[in-house]
Amino acid sequence: MALFVQKYGGTSVADLDKLQKIAQKLYKLQQEGNQVVVVVSAMGKTTDNLVKMIYDLSENPPERELDVLLSTGEQVTISLLSAALESIGARAVSLTGRQAGILTDSNHSRAKILDINPERIMEELSQGKIVVAAGFQGADQQGEITTLGRGGSDTTAVALAAVLKAEVCEIYTDVSGIYTIDPNMVKDARKLPYISYDEMLELANLGAKVMHPRAVEFGKRFGVKIHVRSSFSQEEGTMIREVTSMEEKFVVSGIACDVDLAKIAIIGVPDKPGIAAKVFTRIAGAGINVDLIVQSIRKEQENDILFTVNKGDLSKTLSILKEISDQFGSKEIYFDENVAKISIIGAGMANSPGVAAAMFKALADKDINIEIISTSEIKVSCLIKKDKINLAAEIVHDAFMLGDDRLTMV
Ligand code: ASP
Ligand code: MG
């Protein structure tokens, strides 16, 4: 008897018809002699609508109430799916995050899972029930409802797969896998048969929205393979798993584009120790993630510091900088929202010289100016003008022949 953990995202459970189809699939799987745990998201755009409602009422809603509200979305789905299962003769039980034993810290709207007590789930499974668990939610030590951050149902599913020792966690979604690049941007995009956890983490953090980054971290930590596949077809998707050193690795597996950024430049700060520490400690203290950072020498004893933040964090960052600017005495602070980041990711890159150069050349050939460059072992990112991002996506995808059937391997 195998144990299956499956997760269905918002578009996959968007209406009753879809829920009924999923119920049939789950029941069949169980009747074939398997144990089934299913994690679901809120239906369609429910979470977005709930967010809008509370913000229409209050500019700054209490975090606790926001989580109490948002967690209701998934609760609607679990009860309906369980009822759909029962209506076709299956035995099923819906469980909220707390009932499913998901203990989190108390950071509302971005809580981390600390522990999972699987007793209740195991008990229900042993009674022959299909367990329908709410994604995206848990409870802290005090029993307060928490949520895991937008897209967090993926994390619930992988964490449950880990604690229940399922070999694979299947993520059913509205795309048929992980692509070399967003197929909406480049029509030659190709589905990858597999990708390593590290590459997927980079992709997820760099703006590919398919998977919640924390879910990939869980997968890596507990060795749970994650199969990302379409809920609307039978075809195999993409397996996120460890790629061993014996296996072939793609030089470049994928490309991520992020247009949700703003660049900030602090011009003419004194060249002395402690300035960067001061600036970035304050920004981090406000919970703002900083990405590409560059410091360059303007002239003797003066530096410029450039960095990017998410567009949503721009005004908060600017007001922090204004507040502390007399402490580091910069001449000017600029910002630019007309920027975008294109990144290539590939585990094989570390062993292939010239990958970054090939990317720069492809951009240069189309006269695309690079404003900031940042690299790691498995990625190269370039900040460019936002209005060039589609062209850049196309040509970089081409430059690494990612649309071809045979990807370049090392
Ligand atoms: N319903 C939540 C969201 O829309 C969580 C999820 O779907 O994963 O972000
Ligand atoms: Mg999702």
Ligand 1 atom with the smallest distance to the CA of 41 is 7
Q: How far is the CA of 42 from the centre of ligand 2 (A)?
A: 10
Predicted confidence at residue 268, as pLDDT, reads 86
Three-point CA angle 340, 382, 320, nearest 5°: 60
Closest to 356 (Cα-Cα) out of 371, 345, 369, 367:
345
> Is 405's pLDDT higher than 70?
no
Predicted confidence at residue 6, as pLDDT, reads 98
Q: 72: how many CB neighbours lie within 10 A of its CB?
A: 15
Is the shortest distance between the CB of 135 and ligand 1 below 6 Å? Answer: yes
Average pLDDT, the chain: 93
Q: What is the pLDDT of residues 53-75, one digit of tens each?
A: 999 999 999 999 999 999 999 99
What is the distance between the alpha carbons of residues 386 and 72, in angstroms, rounded to a whole number? 37
Predicted confidence at residue 248, as pLDDT, reads 67
Q: Cβ distance 204 to 149 under 8 Å?
A: no
3-174 adopts what CATH topology? Carbamate kinase (3.40.1160)
Predicted confidence at residue 271, as pLDDT, reads 84
Ligand 1 atom with the smallest distance to the CA of 149 is 9
Is the shortest distance between the CB of 153 and ligand 1 below 6 Å? Answer: yes
Helix (H) / strand (E) containing 325: helix 314-328
Average pLDDT over residues 198-219: 89
Q: pLDDT class for 407, splitting at 50, 70, 90?
A: low
Q: 111: how many CB neighbours lie within 10 A of its CB?
A: 26
Predicted confidence at residue 206, as pLDDT, reads 84
Q: What is the pLDDT of residues 105-115, one digit of tens each?
A: 999 999 999 99
Q: Which of 34-48, 170-184, 236-250 has the lowest mean pLDDT?
A: 236-250
Predicted confidence at residue 103, as pLDDT, reads 98
Q: Cβ distance 178 to 142 under 8 Å?
A: no
Q: What is the pLDDT of residues 332-367, one digit of tens each?
A: 899 999 999 999 999 888 888 899 999 999 999 999
Structure tokens at 314: 């721009």
Predicted confidence at residue 247, as pLDDT, reads 67
